[in-house]
């Protein structure tokens, strides 16, 4: 029984720790066409980028770039109308480490609680040596 619980704990750890290969956001290069001053309230640079065979102008979630500077950006799934892109260096790559660790520890504590409950119920059952006496 302890072997099964141990293997379940290892399987849970691997499942939660393994990096997720979710749908990768589309990364493209964009050229800054209208830089914005970082002191403004609406400090978004305007960039021009090509997705497929169409050229789009979008807001860059950032400021202070030079005109004609090339920036790698992450494009949202919906590129119809006005949209905002994010610098690829600032985009999160996956599930943050803290969330994965918290999930792993919660799963392991659940397994430990289940094992403890199993041991308590097993302890209260009479054994064959106690019946013989």
53 within domain boundaries: yes
What's the pLDDT at 62?
A: 83
56 within domain boundaries: yes
70 within domain boundaries: yes
Query: How many CB atoms are located within 10 Å of the residue 125 CB?
Result: 7
In CATH, what number is assigned to the domain containing residue 78?
2.40.50
pLDDT tens for each residue of the chain, 133 residues long: 666 766 777 777 777 666 665 555 688 899 999 888 888 777 888 999 988 888 889 998 888 888 999 999 888 877 788 888 888 877 666 667 777 788 778 877 877 887 888 888 887 766 666 555 5
Decide if 69 contacts 45 (C-beta within 8 A).
no
80 within domain boundaries: yes
15 within domain boundaries: no
Rama region for 91: left / alpha / beta (φ>0; ψ in -120 to 50; rest): beta
Decide if 35 contacts 45 (C-beta within 8 A).
yes
Total domains, the chain: 1
**Which 3 state secondary structure label does DSSP give 31?**
strand
What's the pLDDT at 68?
A: 92
69 within domain boundaries: yes
Query: Could you list the residue range(s) of the whole structural domain that residue 73 is in?
Result: 26-90
**91-101: burial string, b at 16+ Cβ within 10 Å, e else:** eeeeeeeeebe
What's the pLDDT at 19?
A: 63
6 within domain boundaries: no
36 within domain boundaries: yes
What's the pLDDT at 48?
A: 92
- DSSP result, 54-96: EEEEEEES---PPTT-EEEEEE-S--SSS-EEEEGGGS--SS-
How far apart, in Å, do the first and last CA atoms of the chain sit? 28
């Amino acid at each position: 029984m302890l072997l099964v619980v141990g293997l379940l704990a290892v399987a849970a750890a691997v499942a939660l720790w393994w990096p997720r290969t979710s749908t990768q956001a589309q990364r493209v290069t964009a050229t800054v066409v209208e830089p914005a001053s970082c002191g403004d309230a609406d400090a978004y640079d305007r960039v021009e980028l090509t997705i497929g065979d169409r050229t789009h102008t979008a807001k860059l979630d950032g400021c202070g770039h030079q005109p004609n500077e090339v920036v790698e950006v992450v494009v949202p799934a919906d590129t119809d109308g006005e949209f905002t892109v994010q610098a690829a260096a600032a985009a999160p790559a996956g599930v943050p480490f803290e969330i994965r660790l918290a999930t792993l520890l919660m799963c392991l504590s659940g397994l430990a609680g289940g094992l403890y409950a199993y041991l308590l119920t097993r302890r209260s059952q009479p054994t064959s040596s106690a019946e013989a006496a």
